[in-house]
């Protein structure tokens, strides 16, 4: 197959950051994707309607290359929040979902939730109003090995949340382990999971062998090859429980190539091309549309996009740019360790 047409994709997990990054990042997403769930871990996290609607307005200002683009804003759950604020923001359609970051689990999560059981009253309301709960599923405890944090989170926290709130719609975001794949497969359809391109493509050996590659460092951290294989199987699965969330998370190159380097991979610019190559290499091109354009919409009970994108397979590999430069910042663009021959030929408007 040398050409492919699929429904326009959605990105169910993206970081647009703030000015001056935001202005350049938004159009990179909106030119290909029709919807994006936007993460709230800003320097001033999104904890009320006012911040949320201002942020949404800013995003819409820079997504004019796609009049259909819909940024779905998330509310940052925290210890001091008001339930009413959350419910009202949801009712007024200012926010789309609420995000749970365990305290300190990732970039700008220092206002996250310190004790998850304290959130149960809020989960009850979310369940009642059908507000989706998005979870960064890792514990953040010194004594827990960094490679085990997703598994321990699922055992200690997600299991009781699912049990206590069977009607709550939950997304376990950017899953990284075979354990998580199995858990989601065995759970009710209220729990589904997003997967990033980089976790489908890389394992921890890619990051750590010979010389350390800071641009492959992300959170949750890359896992073993057997985990990556389980994620691939999940992405190809016809049960539609898994969907794309790029978790595209840019940092300036100096913050990555640093004695104390930041976590995050910037992949928006080539994520669909890269995934198309990955699915093609695995003989699974037929599953691509489900993973990038359908499964997420089904989970969030949103209509499918009606426009399409057309991809073409070239005879020589695509040459991607190395950096996206924004003022004095240089953001390294994710590069998979294989050649990508697929290119987006046309995006329907
Ligand atoms: Zn993220």
pLDDT 10s digits, 184-206: 999 999 999 999 999 999 999 99
Q: Is there a contact between 113 and 77 (Cβ–Cβ < 8 Å)?
A: yes
pLDDT 10s digits, 55-66: 999 999 999 999
Q: What is the mean pLDDT of residues 223-234?
A: 98
More confident residue, 345 or 109: 345
CA of 217 to the centre of ligand 1 (A): 13
Q: Is there a contact between 223 and 206 (Cβ–Cβ < 8 Å)?
A: no
Assess whether 247 carries a catalytic annotation: yes
CA of 154 to the centre of ligand 1 (A): 18
Confidence of residue 133 (pLDDT cuts 50, 70, 90): very high
pLDDT of residue 20: 92
pLDDT of residue 268: 94
Of residues 10, 11, 247, 280, which has the active-site annotation? 247
Q: Which residues pair with 172 in a beta bridge?
A: 135, 193
Q: Is there a contact between 215 and 198 (Cβ–Cβ < 8 Å)?
A: no
Q: Write the burial class of residue 214 (CB in 10 Å: 0-12 exposed, 13-18 middle, 19+ buried).
A: middle
CA of 173 to the centre of ligand 1 (A): 8
pLDDT of residue 110: 73
Dig out the tokens for 88 from the structure: 């009202």
pLDDT surpasses 90 at 161 = yes
Q: What's the CA gap between 186 and 158, in Å, rounded? A: 13
Q: Is 247 left (phi over 0), alpha (psi -120 to 50) or beta?
A: left
Dig out the tokens for 214 from the structure: 């800071």
On whether the pTM is more than 0.95, the answer is yes
pLDDT of residue 79: 87
pLDDT surpasses 90 at 270 = yes
Residue with tokens 């990508």: 340
Instruction: List helix spans (H) across the chain.
Output: 21-30, 49-61, 83-91, 120-129, 149-153, 159-164, 178-186, 197-201, 204-208, 225-236, 253-256, 271-281, 285-289, 295-299
pLDDT of residue 112: 76
Q: Write the burial class of residue 23 (CB in 10 Å: 0-12 exposed, 13-18 middle, 19+ buried).
A: middle
CA of 2 to the centre of ligand 1 (A): 33
CA of 60 to the centre of ligand 1 (A): 20
pLDDT surpasses 90 at 158 = yes
Q: Which of 108, 95, 167, 162 is nearest to 135 (CA)?
A: 162
SS3 readout for 97-133: EEEECECCCCCCCCCCECCHHHHHHHHHHHHHHCCCE
Q: Which of 234, 245, 196, 244 is nearest to 218 (CA)?
A: 196
CA of 11 to the centre of ligand 1 (A): 12
Q: What's the CA gap between 7 and 311, in Å, rounded? A: 11
pLDDT of residue 343: 97
Q: What CATH code would you report for 9-252+281-304? A: 3.20.20.140
pLDDT 10s digits, 94-127: 999 999 998 876 666 677 788 888 899 999 999 9
CA of 271 to the centre of ligand 1 (A): 15
Q: How many residues are given for the chain?
A: 349
Q: What's the CA gap between 170 and 165, in Å, rounded? A: 10
CA of 41 to the centre of ligand 1 (A): 9
Q: Which of 46, 106, 47 is nearest to 82 (CA)?
A: 47
pLDDT of residue 108: 67
Q: Domain limits of the chain?
A: 9-252+281-304
């Amino acid at each position: 197959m040398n050409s492919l047409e699929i429904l326009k994709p959605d990105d169910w997990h993206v970081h647009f950051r703030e000015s001056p990054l935001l202005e350049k990042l938004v159009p990179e997403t909106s030119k290909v994707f029709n919807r994006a769930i936007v993460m709230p871990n800003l320097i001033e996290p999104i904890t009320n309607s006012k911040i949320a609607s201002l942020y949404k307005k800013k995003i819409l200002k820079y997504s004019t290359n796609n009049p259909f683009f819909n940024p779905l804003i998330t509310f940052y759950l925290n210890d001091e929040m008001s339930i009413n604020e959350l419910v009202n923001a949801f009712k007024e359609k200012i926010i789309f979902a609420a995000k749970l970051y365990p305290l300190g689990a990732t970039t700008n999560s220092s206002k996250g939730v310190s004790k998850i059981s304290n959130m149960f009253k809020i989960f009850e309301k979310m369940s009642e109003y059908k507000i989706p709960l998005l979870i960064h599923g890792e514990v953040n405890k010194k004594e827990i090995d960094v490679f085990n944090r997703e598994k321990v989170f699922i055992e200690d926290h997600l299991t009781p949340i699912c049990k206590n709130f069977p009607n709550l719609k939950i997304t376990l975001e950017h899953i990284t382990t075979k354990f998580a794949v199995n858990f989601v497969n065995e759970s009710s359809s209220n729990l589904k999971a997003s997967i990033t391109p980089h976790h489908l493509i890389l394992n921890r050996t890619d990051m750590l062998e010979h010389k350390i590659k800071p641009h492959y460092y992300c959170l949750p951290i890359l896992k073993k090859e057997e985990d990556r294989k389980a994620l691939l199987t999940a992405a190809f699965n016809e049960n539609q429980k898994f969907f794309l969330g790029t978790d595209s998370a840019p940092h300036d190159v100096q913050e990555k190539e640093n004695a104390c380097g930041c976590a995050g991979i910037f992949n928006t610019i080539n994520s669909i091309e890269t995934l198309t190559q990955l699915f093609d290499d695995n003989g699974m091109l037929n599953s691509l549309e489900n993973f990038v354009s359908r499964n997420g919409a089904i989970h969030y009970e949103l209509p499918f996009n009606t426009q399409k994108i057309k991809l073409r397979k070239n005879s020589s590999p695509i040459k991607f740019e190395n950096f996206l430069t924004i003022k004095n910042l240089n953001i390294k663009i994710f590069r998979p360790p294989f050649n990508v021959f697929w290119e987006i030929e046309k995006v329907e408007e």
